């Protein structure tokens, strides 16, 4: 496979100011004529290289004349234009959308046609430079059978429609904004719309449409409300207005990721559009809100200012994730949102940064760009933006982003452009900070308190190390902003003010002030930097912080650390000292009435995987055992508290206020703790909640709790759930998922059986992820000592890769964590990676992931 290097970037030799596309639509055959107006930018004659992927050029014309001066170079079309400096190049191609199982380019989903072009899917529709720094104005004509495709959509505005011959009709769309090919979209199908409108800050009326299949309209209201909130928020917080008269969203069931920000025509996975209380959990509602916002925000951070090349992906993704996180924080509880975001970072990004696929947020090379839509580029990328915002404060940050949008509007920009705009606009020197873009690996900070008995002065010693990562053995110290505060155990009067420490050397000593005794150290408050802090704690310090810290994230963190320390000690064979955790949970629960959502997050035990991340060699079985034991101990010791929470009736499922969501979340946690005890009535209690539930949040929480056990109620509930929702794909995904999450010892076998279930299909990425994504997150199951879990995953990758390499390749990384496990498991994992690599015709996607994972 060819490796593409960031430093090999060269500006395009040909620009393409105009693209006119003509589609004769059909599910099995779509004919495409593309007319590219090309203009030479290179000084000397240069061939026009148009990228293709599995395309055949049926005819080529230049300036209206048949043209023979072209050849294929592998998949690409090379047109010799002699010494012309401008031309109109027309190419006819023919594609089969129904056979497109990769879901890249133009494909059929439930007899509708839709497109996905990012990153390199446009070249599966027609020949084109297909690089993000080539921006064009698009004019799209499409014609198709009126009965099969009553709705015809593309980017921009519909400027004309008409009837054709033989029952066809056509539409002409024009997008006034120049855009890269990856933002092109087309949708044709039998769709219904939820229409609304939004009036922008400057008084322009924007028509909004959310297009779904008949019967789904009533489940689009939350998405529509989220869209309008996003539009208003981006005006208020970033001064960004929408720039077309039309904004359409289409929901499709077969989609490789969450959604796509095509200009004026977002295409979404149904999962992030459809929601009603009966079928969607509160978390699903939040997912809809967050993804609708994310894609909408891309209109500025991504579309108006796009990326020069794919190495700059975090320019749009990191920034846009930061923007959607801030938006969701403003719509609900900021503290809870921060906890959730950090949990995602630790679950998905930290392991990536610590493994063979580690890469900087701005990678240096890739073989297949689809493999770089990672938690590092997205979520760590967002943390890098957040650190800049933290260092300069909101007003200066806004000056920086204003300058960025102003300077680069209409351009294809780089991460460096963004950093320079923040430097210039906010007035800060980010020279050293830039290392966050180039160095991979999660920095570790060792923190140590030291006091002077005579003076009572205390200092904090900090030391940073950045672990080696592939291709980066040695790292330079980074600039790490740490929000820090020290508390006096006995009197708040002597608390120091919070300080923002900018750690910019390998070591530093920070004066904390005068304290009567060792102060309580609150460090990395709000998770101000994406780092791991190692800090020796005095007895009782974490419990004190869990109860008294005035930063909610730090309170959460202290309790998590206390749980983690207890669990890691138990797993390492030390006598389990569970009392401190039980007491701290009890104390935290006392605040449940005031802030149930926060309390629910705070009292959750760390995941099995995160416990494993603390160990040199992960012992999945011991982690499973000790975590369950601690869960049971907390369940039993606080039984009356959990029962009291459950005795308080659930708020109606239609109540989606943060308070109601928080109460449901806490009820779910209470049920899980009770479910972990040996109490005889626990299954019946869960079953009653399952049966009485008036919405999916309670229903799913009860089902998930039952799924861990082996009660009669479990089988019964699973059956009821299946019968009730078998025709609703998104809910059926949950049925697969809860079984793959199960802590039962036979989960590997259950997943193997579920993969043979008539409702399981490799054609739908949501279904694949529901079963296998959940399974690989189930640490003790996936890592079953005999390797059955690894084999199951590799079998799936091998079966899926020929159909959908992008989705297949994304499932490989869990096999690459072999260095963290014992020798027997490591050998089994490597064997499965080897088996994947040995498949003839393995995709570039899977080859890159599997080969890098073996190193
Ligand atoms: N930009 C798209 C991701 C496309 C992924 C292609 N493999 C969705 C998003 O981040 O908003
Ligand atoms: Zn995005």
Question: What are the pLDDT digits (tens) for 322-344?
Answer: 999 999 999 999 999 999 999 99
The strand pairing partners of 508, in sequence order, are 462
Residue 717 confidence (pLDDT): 98
Please report how the helices 282-297 and 221-238 are oriented relative to each other, as an axis angle in degrees rounded to 10. 50
Is the Cβ atom of 700 under 6 angstroms away from ligand 1?
A: no
Chain-centre distance for alpha carbon 714: 31
* Nearest CA owner, ligand 1 atom 2: 260
List pLDDT tens digits, range 233-244: 999 999 999 999
Q: What is residue 492's predicted lDDT score, i.e. its pLDDT?
A: 55
* pLDDT, tens digit (0-9, with 9 covering 90-100), for 788-846: 999 999 999 999 999 999 999 999 999 999 999 999 999 999 999 999 999 999 999 99
Ligand 2 centroid – CA 324 distance (Å)? 10
pLDDT of 96 over the 70 cut: yes
With cut-offs at 50, 70 and 90, classify the pLDDT of residue 491. Answer: low
The 10 Å CB-count burial string (b at 16+, else e) for 826-842 is eebbbbbbebbeebeeb
Residue 807 CB–ligand 1 contact under 6 Å: no
Residue 848: closest CA among 369, 255, 130: 369
Distance 294 CA to ligand 2 centre (A): 6
Please state, in angstroms and rounded to a whole number, the distance separating the CA atoms of residues 574 and 555: 26
Q: CA-CA distance, 393 to 391, in Å (whole number)?
A: 6
Over 80: is that where the pLDDT of 493 sits? Answer: no
pLDDT tens per residue, range 440-455: 999 999 999 999 989 9
Q: Distance between CA 101 and CA 155 in Å, rounded?
A: 24
- The packing angle between helices 729-740 and 712-725, to 10°, is 160
Residue nearest to atom 6 of ligand 1 (CA): 118
Measured in Å, residue 155 CA sits from the centre of ligand 1 at: 17
Ligand 1 pocket check for 294: Cβ under 6 Å: yes
User: What are φ and ψ of residue 71, in 5° steps?
Assistant: -150, 160
- Decide: 317 in ligand 1 pocket, CB within 6 A: yes
Three-state helix/strand/coil letters over 575-590? CCCCHHHHHHHHHHHC
Q: 22-36, 89-103, 486-500, 572-586 — which is least confidently predicted?
A: 486-500
Q: What is the pLDDT of residue 132?
A: 99
91 touches ligand 1 (CB under 6 Å):
no
User: Is the CB of residue 257 below 6 angstroms from any atom belonging to ligand 1?
Assistant: yes
Write down the pLDDT at residue 453: 87
Mutate to test the pocket of ligand 1, among 184, 261, 804 (most ligand atoms within 8 A of CB): 261
CA of 72 to the centre of ligand 2 (A): 33
Domains of the chain as residue ranges with CATH: 4-190 (2.60.40.1730), 306-438 (1.10.390.10), 444-529 (2.60.40.1840)
Residue 376 gets which letter from DSSP? Answer: I
Decide: 385 and 408 in contact? Cβ < 8 Å. no
Element at 388 (helix H, strand E)? helix 381-408
The secondary structure of residue 607, as a DSSP letter, is P
Tell me how crowded residue 723 is: count the other CB atoms within 10 A of its CB.
8
pLDDT of 417 higher than 70: yes
Q: Give the per-residue pLDDT at 495.
A: 66
120 lines ligand 1 (CB under 6 A): no
Q: What angle do CA 748, 751, 754 make, to 5 degrees?
A: 155
**Ligand lying nearest the CA atom of residue 315:** 2
Which residues are catalytic, by number? 295
| pLDDT for the residue 620 | 98
Residue 382 CB less than 6 A away from ligand 1: no
The tokens of 708 are what? Answer: 């861990």
Whether the pLDDT of residue 219 is over 80: the answer is: yes
Rounded to the nearest angstrom, the distance between the alpha carbon of 821 and the centre of ligand 1 is: 32
Dist CA 714 CA 705 (whole Å): 9
Ligand 1: residue of 114, 116, 117, 118 to mutate (most ligand atoms within 8 A of CB) is 118
Entry field: residues in the chain: 855
Assign 376 a pLDDT band (cuts: 50, 70, 90): very high
Distances (CA, A) of 628 to 184, 562, 642: 49, 16, 17
pLDDT band of residue 108 (cuts 50, 70, 90) is very high
Confidence at residue 494, expressed as pLDDT on a 0 to 100 scale: 59
Query: Distance, CA 282 to ligand 1 centroid (Å)?
Result: 24
What percent of the chain is modeled with pLDDT above 90?
98
**321-326 contacts at long range (C-beta below 8 A, 24 or more positions apart):** 321/294, 321/378, 321/379, 321/381, 321/382, 322/381, 322/382, 322/385, 322/386, 322/389, 323/234, 323/238, 323/293, 323/294, 323/297, 324/290, 324/291, 324/293, 324/294, 324/297, 325/290, 325/382, 325/386, 326/237
Query: In this model, does residue 570 exceed pLDDT 90?
Result: yes
Q: Is 370 in the pocket of ligand 1 (CB under 6 A)?
A: yes
> Which of 183, 373, 810, 845 to mutate for ligand 1's pocket (most ligand atoms within 8 Å of CB)?
373
Q: What is the CA radius of gyration of the chain?
A: 28
349: nearest Cα among 287, 151, 357, 258: 357
Q: How far is the CA of 468 from the centre of ligand 1 (A)?
A: 29
Report the DSSP beta bridge partners of residue 468: none
Dist. CA 230–CA 828, nearest whole Å: 47
Angle at 614 between CA 613 and CA 620, to 5 degrees: 60
Residues 6+ apart with CB under 8 A from 554: 522, 524, 525, 526, 545
Is 17 strand, coil or helix?
strand
Q: How many CA atoms lie within 13 A of 805 on its CB side?
A: 18
Nearest C-alpha to atom 10 of ligand 1 is from which residue? 317
- For residue 576, pLDDT beyond 80: no
User: Closest residue (by CA) to atom 5 of ligand 1?
Assistant: 118
Residue closest by Cα to atom 3 of ligand 1: 260
User: Ligand nearest 255 Cα, by number?
Assistant: 1
Position 577 scores a pLDDT of 86
Ligand 1: which of 132, 180, 257 to mutate, judged by most atoms within 8 Å of the beta carbon?
257
170-174 contacts at long range (C-beta below 8 A, 24 or more positions apart): 170/141, 170/142, 170/143, 170/144, 171/141, 171/142, 172/139, 172/140, 172/141, 173/138, 173/139, 173/140, 173/141, 173/142, 174/137, 174/138, 174/139, 174/140
Nearest CA, atom 1, ligand 1: 260
Mean pLDDT across 151-176 = 98
pLDDT tens by residue, 709-733: 999 999 999 999 999 999 999 999 9
**CA distances in angstroms from 649 to 549, 677, 706, listed in the order given:** 31, 22, 20
Residues, beta carbon < 5 Å, ion ligand 2: 317, 320
State the chain's mean pLDDT as an integer: 98
Ligand 1 centroid from CA 338, angstroms: 23
Residue 490 pLDDT > 80: no
């Amino acid at each position: 496979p060819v490796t593409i290097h960031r430093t090999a970037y060269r500006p395009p030799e040909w620009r393409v100011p105009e693209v006119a596309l003509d589609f004769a639509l059909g599910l099995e055959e779509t004919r495409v004529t593309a007319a590219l107006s090309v203009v030479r930018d290179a000084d000397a004659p240069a061939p026009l290289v148009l990228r293709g992927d599995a395309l055949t050029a049926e005819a080529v014309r230049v300036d209206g004349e048949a043209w023979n001066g072209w050849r294929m170079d592998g998949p690409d079309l090379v047109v010799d234009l002699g010494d012309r400096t401008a031309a109109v190049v027309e190419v006819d191609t023919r594609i089969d959308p129904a056979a497109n199982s990769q879901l890249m380019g133009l494909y059929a989903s439930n007899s509708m046609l839709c497109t996905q072009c990012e990153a390199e899917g446009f070249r599966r529709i027609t020949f084109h430079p297909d690089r993000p720094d080539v921006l064009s104005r698009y004019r799209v004509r499409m014609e198709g059978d009126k009965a099969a495709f009553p709705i015809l959509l593309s980017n921009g505005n519909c400027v004309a429609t008409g009837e054709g011959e033989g029952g066809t009709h056509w539409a002409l769309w024009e997008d006034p904004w120049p855009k890269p090919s990856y933002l092109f979209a087309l949708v044709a199908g039998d769709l219904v719309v939820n229409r609304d409108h939004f009036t922008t800050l400057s008084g322009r009326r924007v028509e909004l449409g959310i297009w779904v299949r008949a019967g789904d309209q009533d489940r689009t209201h939350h998405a529509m409300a989220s869209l309008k909130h996003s539009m208003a928020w981006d005006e208020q917080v970033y001064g960004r207005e929408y720039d077309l008269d039309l904004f359409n969203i289409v929901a499709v069931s077969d989609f490789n990721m969450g959604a796509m920000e095509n200009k004026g025509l977002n295409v979404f996975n149904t999962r992030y559009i459809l929601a009603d209380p009966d079928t969607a959990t509160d978390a699903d509602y939040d997912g809809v809100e967050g993804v609708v916002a994310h894609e909408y925000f891309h209109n500025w951070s991504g579309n108006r200012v796009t990326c020069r090349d794919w190495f700059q992906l975090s320019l749009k993704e990191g920034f846009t994730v930061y923007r959607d996180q801030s938006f969701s924080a403003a719509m609900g509880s900021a503290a809870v949102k921060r906890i959730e975001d950090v949990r995602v970072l630790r679950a998905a990004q930290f392991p990536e940064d610590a493994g063979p696929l580690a890469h900087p947020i701005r990678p240096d090379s890739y073989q297949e760009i689809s493999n770089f839509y990672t938690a590092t580029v997205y979520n760590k990328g967002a943390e890098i933006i957040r650190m800049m915002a933290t260092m300069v404060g909101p007003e200066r940050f806004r000056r920086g982003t204003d300058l960025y949008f102003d300077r680069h509007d209409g351009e294809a920009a780089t991460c460096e452009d963004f950093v320079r705009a923040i430097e210039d606009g906010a007035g800060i020197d980010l020279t050293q900070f830039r290392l966050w873009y180039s160095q991979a690996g999660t920095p570790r900070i060792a923190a140590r308190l030291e006091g002077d008995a005579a003076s009572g002065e205390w200092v904090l010693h900090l030391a940073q190390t950045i672990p080696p990562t592939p291709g980066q053995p040695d790292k330079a110290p980074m600039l790490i902003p740490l929000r820090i505060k020290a508390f006096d155990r006995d009197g708040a009067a002597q608390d120091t003010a919070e300080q923002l420490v900018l750690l910019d050397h390998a070591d530093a000593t920070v004066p904390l002030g005068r304290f009567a005794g060792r102060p309580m150290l609150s460090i990395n408050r709000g998770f101000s930097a994406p780092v791991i802090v190692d800090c020796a704690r005095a007895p009782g310090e974490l419990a004190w912080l869990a109860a008294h810290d005035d930063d909610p994230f730090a309170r959460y963190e202290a309790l998590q650390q206390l749980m983690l320390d207890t669990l890691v000690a138990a797993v390492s064979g030390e006598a389990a000292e569970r009392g401190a955790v039980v007491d701290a949970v009890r104390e935290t629960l006392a605040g449940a009435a005031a802030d149930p959502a926060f309390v629910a997050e705070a009292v959750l035990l760390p995941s099995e995987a995160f416990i494993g991340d603390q160990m040199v060699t992960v012992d999945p079985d011991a982690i499973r055992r000790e975590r369950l034991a601690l869960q049971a101990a907390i369940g039993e010791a606080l039984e009356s508290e959990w029962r009291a929470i459950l005795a308080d009736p659930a708020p109606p499922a239609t109540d989606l206020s943060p308070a109601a969501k928080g109460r449901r979340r806490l009820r779910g946690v209470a049920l899980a703790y009770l479910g972990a005890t040996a109490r005889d009535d626990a299954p019946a209690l869960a079953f009653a909640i399952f049966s009485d539930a008036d919405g999916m949040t309670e229903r799913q929480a009860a089902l998930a709790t039952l799924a861990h056990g082996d009660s009669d109620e479990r089988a019964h509930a699973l059956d009821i759930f299946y019968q009730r929702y078998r025709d609703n794909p998104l809910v059926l995904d949950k049925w697969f998922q809860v079984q793959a999450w199960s802590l039962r010892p036979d989960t590997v076998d259950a997943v193997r059986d579920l993969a043979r279930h008539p409702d399981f299909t490799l054609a739908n990425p949501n279904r694949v992820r529901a079963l296998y994504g959940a399974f690989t997150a189930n640490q003790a199951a996936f890592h079953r000592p005999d390797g059955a879990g690894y084999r199951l995953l590799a079998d799936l990758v091998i079966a899926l890769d020929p159909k959908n390499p992008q989705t297949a390749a994304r499932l490989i990384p869990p096999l690459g964590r072999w260095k963290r496990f014992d020798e027997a498991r490591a050998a089994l994992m490597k064997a499965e990676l080897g088996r994947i690599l040995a498949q003839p015709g393995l995709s570039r996607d899977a080859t890159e992931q599997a080969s890098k994972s073996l190193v």
